[in-house]
Amino acid sequence: MKSRSNRTNRRSATIAGNLMLAPMVAAMRLPTMLSEDRSTNPWGTETLRAINEKNAAMAEGMMAAQMSLMQSASSFWFDVFSGRTPSLFSGVAADRAVQAALKPASLRVKANYRRLSSKS
């Protein structure tokens, strides 16, 4: 049981660490967005990329959280009949859902940090 807790803590720390790069990504992205030519197209390439990435990460996160909660709900009676506390009652389901929801955004922030830091 302890190894599962350590794995969960490590996963949470990784997600939090990646999301802490978000202000740096925004700071590195702003000069590129400001230098885009807006005379022909009001939406520059980097601006559209930022918007699309955020929308995609949000949609993926919502789906992942819903799937995580559905998985916990489907195992509810198995947990009850086996004598374990269902994850919906113990808070484990909520923790898994939050991690699942934040993971896509975390991965995108890390990828953008790598991409933008290699440009400069």
- Strand (E) or helix (H) holding 1: none
Radius of gyration of the chain (CA): 19
pLDDT digits (tens, 9 = 90+) for 43-81: 888 899 999 999 999 999 999 999 999 999 999 999 999
Q: How far apart are CA 38 and CA 65, in angstroms?
A: 38
Cβ atoms of 109 and 25 within 8 Å: the answer is: yes
pLDDT at 2 over 70: no
The pTM of the full predicted model, rounded to 2 decimals, is 0.81
pLDDT digits (tens, 9 = 90+) for 18-44: 999 999 999 999 998 888 888 888 888
DSSP conformation class of 44: -
